[in-house]
């Protein structure tokens, strides 16, 4: 307890934020050992995802001291004279953390361009390359709960950092002394809307969007920062303005209408689906709070709507990009936890395909000629013959392209569901699902992974385990990562990995079934879908039993 108190008092002496000072003083006065241990018994680790955690006092929280130390470490790694672009979303303290970062960086002799208002994450990623900067910082916690915030670092290529940069920056952060001794500057450049968002809009509206525009869209930015930009993008591309969920349109860091501000979470899309039904929308689109992800819903033939999975959208956008770009060196990429469908589409069209580790920092580094990449968690980067406008997930660019795809299908008397059936007949039905187990104790995840490594299952449900691969050893030329991949009989697959941003163990399931051929009736696909649902349910239950969490 004495050491915890000493560290807390040292923290108090350097903390410039009256709110977190008051919080910590209250904890000390109450003698709350558990609260002190929670805040000072560990620290937020800086990695390839940067920093992310709950707001509050201490090294195990997101606060002004943590952020200023991170900025000082980045400044030390870059060196004086380098140029850094800083953006932020509308979460609690995002603007404060952005300004603190600008003050520390300019105080260390770096040049800083700070966006003058909240912006989506893809705009920051675009800005790094557009301005020729050496690095970028985005203050955001994406779709995490309201009390979280985060800090993402981009390098000069416009993509998130990868090893060994993360270790180098982390070591530099550890060497930072008290933040009260840091020299602070104030002479940074303020980026206007015209300086960044207009070039971004010009880039994404130059994507291969076709000519069809007849489409009714229902849209929600889910209390985040993507709303105004998406409306501008649709207008610039010639689409009619989407109907918007008014209760979720204005940025609000408390996310009052959703339990979790993530389109994948149960109930998060309820208001958007209600609006779609009311307006007779042909397409439902949602961005997450920092607008780097894009969720898609479609009307059902018998009434109502359903959300498409990230893998379904990934396959549709992948084939759309492939058939609207040219050149022998084109490459498409998806993460190892995404469906294997994209690889079959690429092979059929004579386009190269790469499989990467999870995370867009790896996807955009898949190789030269990359025109498209996606991961199943609603993340897509879309390009044309000129390459990728954004070397990260881009929920606004993806929304434009899915709207173009849907409008083209509508012109031809088809729906996105028809296009999915067409792909199932051509490449086999690739059905995917997830099992996520949230825990309070991270040691439970480590224990489950250790058990699976020491005793791999021989069967999972009705499937024989054909091979068990430990991704920590590095497989297929991929860098090592904490994960396990099971290839199963019948073309099925399971990948198990700890989440990089949440206390979850995530399992990604895929089954592949024949669905007739191009001339087969629709009933063949419907039958395959029903069988796939049963197979996924059985596989999910088997994986859950094997995890024993």
Q: Residue 488, SS3? A: strand
Q: Domain limits of the chain?
A: 39-191, 199-425, 428-547
**Are the folds of 39-191 and 199-425 the same?**
yes
Share of the chain above pLDDT 70, in %: 99
Taking only the tens place, the pLDDT of each residue in 163-183 is: 999 999 999 999 999 999 999
Strands (E), 376-462: 379-382, 429-438, 459-460
Contact 188, 217 (CB under 8 A): no
pLDDT band at 21 (very low <50, low <70, confident <90, very high): very high
pLDDT of residue 76: 98
- List, in order, residues 6 or more apart from 423 with CB less than 8 Å away: 315, 316, 319, 341, 345
The CATH number of domain 428-547 is 3.40.50.300: no
* Among 529, 282, 534, residue whose Cα is nearest residue 403: 282
Give the separation between CA 384 and CA 386, rounded to whole angstroms.
5
- Write down the pLDDT at residue 519: 58
So which residues are the catalytic ones? 142
Question: Across residues 23-43, what is the average pLDDT?
Answer: 95
Q: Which pLDDT belongs to residue 1? A: 60
Residue 96 three-state SS: helix
Q: Does 521 score more than 60 pLDDT?
A: no
Confidence band (pLDDT; 50, 70, 90) for 499? confident
- Spatial strand order in the sheet of 352-356: 352-356, 331-335, 370-375, 379-382
> Quick one: average pLDDT of 310-320?
98
pLDDT surpassing 60 at residue 520: no
CATH 3.40.120.10 holds for 39-191: yes
Q: Where does residue 153 rank: exposed (0-12), middle (13-18), buried (19+ CB within 10 A)?
A: buried
Question: Per the confidence metrics, is the pTM higher than 0.85?
Answer: yes
Q: Cα–Cα distances in Å, from 516 out to 295, 415, 478?
A: 29, 19, 34
Name the packing angle between helices 522-547 and 416-427 (round to 10°).
80
Would you tell me how many other CB atoms lie within 10 Å of the CB of residue 181? 9
How many whole angstroms separate alpha carbon 158 and alpha carbon 154? 6
pLDDT of residue 193: 87
Residue 157 pLDDT greater than 90, yes or no: yes
pLDDT of residue 242: 98
Q: Say which DSSP state 461 is in.
A: T
CA distance 321 to 331: 11
Task: Name the band, by pLDDT with cuts 50, 70 and 90, for residue 526.
Answer: very high
- Judged against a pLDDT cut of 70, whether residue 441 lies above it is answered with yes
DSSP string, 182-211: S------EEEPHHHHHHHHHHHHHTS---S
Output Rg (C-alpha) for the chain, integer angstroms: 24
Of 186, 178, 238, the residue nearest 214 (C-alpha): 238
250-297 residue pLDDT tens? 999 999 999 999 999 999 999 999 999 999 999 999 999 999 999 999
Q: What Cα–Cα distance (Å) separates residue 391 from each residue in 164, 226, 371, 421? A: 19, 18, 10, 30
Residues 6+ apart with CB under 8 A from 12: 21, 24, 25, 28
> 199-425, what's its fold?
Alpha-D-Glucose-1,6-Bisphosphate; Chain A, domain 3 (3.40.120)
DSSP-based three-state secondary structure for 225 = coil
Smallest Cα–Cα separation from 71: which of 110, 21, 38?
A: 110
For 409-440, the pLDDT digits (tens) are: 999 999 999 999 999 999 999 999 999 998 88
């Amino acid at each position: 307890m004495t050491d915890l108190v000493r560290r807390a008092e040292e923290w108090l002496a350097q903390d410039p934020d009256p709110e977190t000072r008051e919080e910590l003083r209250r904890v000390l006065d109450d003698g709350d050992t558990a609260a002190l241990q929670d805040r000072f018994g560990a620290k937020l680790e800086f990695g390839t995802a940067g920093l992310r955690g709950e707001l509050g006092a201490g090294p195990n929280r997101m606060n002004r001291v943590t952020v200023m130390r991170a900025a000082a470490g980045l400044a030390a790694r870059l060196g004086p004279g380098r140029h850094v672009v800083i953006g932020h979303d509308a979460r609690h303290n995002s603007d404060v953390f952005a300004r603190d970062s600008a003050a520390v960086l300019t105080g260390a002799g770096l040049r800083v361009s700070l966006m003058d208002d909240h912006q989506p994450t893809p705009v920051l990623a675009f800005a790094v390359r557009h301005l020729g900067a050496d690095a970028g910082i985005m203050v955001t916690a994406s779709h995490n709960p309201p009390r979280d915030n985060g800090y993402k670092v981009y390098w000069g290529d416009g993509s998130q950092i990868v090893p060994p940069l993360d270790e180098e920056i982390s070591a530099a952060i550890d060497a930072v002394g008290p933040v009260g001794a840091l020299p602070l500057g104030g002479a940074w450049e303020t980026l206007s809307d015209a300086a960044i968002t207009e070039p971004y809009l010009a880039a994404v509206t130059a994507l291969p969007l076709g000519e069809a525009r007849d489409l009714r869209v229902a849209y929600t930015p889910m209390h985040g920062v993507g709303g105004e930009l998406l409306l501008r993008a649709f207008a610039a591309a010639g689409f009619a303005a989407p109907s918007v969920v008014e209760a979720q349109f204005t940025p609000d860091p408390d996310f009052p209408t959703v339990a979790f501000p993530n389109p994948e979470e149960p109930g998060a899309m309820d208001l958007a689906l209600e609006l779609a039904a009311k307006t007779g929308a042909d397409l439902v689109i949602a961005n997450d709070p920092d607008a780097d992800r894009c969720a898609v819903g479609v009307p059902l033939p018998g009434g109502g709507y359903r959300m498409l999975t990230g893998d379904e959208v990934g396959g549709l956008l992948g084939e759309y990009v492939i058939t609207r770009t040219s050149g022998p060196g084109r490459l498409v990429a998806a993460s190892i936890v995404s469906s294997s469908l994209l690889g079959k589409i690429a092979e059929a069209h004579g386009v190269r395909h790469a499989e990467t580790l999870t995370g867009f920092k790896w996807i955009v580094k898949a190789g030269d000629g990359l025109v498209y990449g996606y991961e199943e968690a609603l993340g897509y980067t879309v390009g044309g013959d000129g390459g990728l406008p954004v070397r990260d997930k881009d929920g606004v660019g993806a929304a434009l392209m899915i709207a173009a795809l849907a409008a083209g299908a509508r012109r031809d008397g088809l729906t996105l569901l028809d296009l999915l059936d067409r792909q199932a007949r051509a490449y086999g039905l690739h059905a995917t699902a997830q099992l996520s187990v949230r825990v309070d104790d991270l040691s439970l995840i480590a224990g489950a992974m250790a058990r699976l490594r020491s005793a791999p299952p021989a069967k999972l449900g009705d499937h024989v385990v054909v091979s068990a691969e430990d991704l920590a050893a590095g497989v297929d030329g991929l860098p090592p990562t904490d994960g396990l991949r099971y290839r199963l009989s019948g073309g099925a697959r399971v990948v198990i990995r700890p989440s990089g941003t949440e206390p979850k163990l995530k399992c990604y399931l895929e089954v592949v079934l024949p669905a007739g051929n191009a001339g087969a009736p629709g009933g063949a696909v419907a039958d395959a879908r029903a069988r796939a649902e049963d197979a996924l349910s059985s596989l999910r239950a088997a994986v859950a039993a094997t995890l024993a969490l």
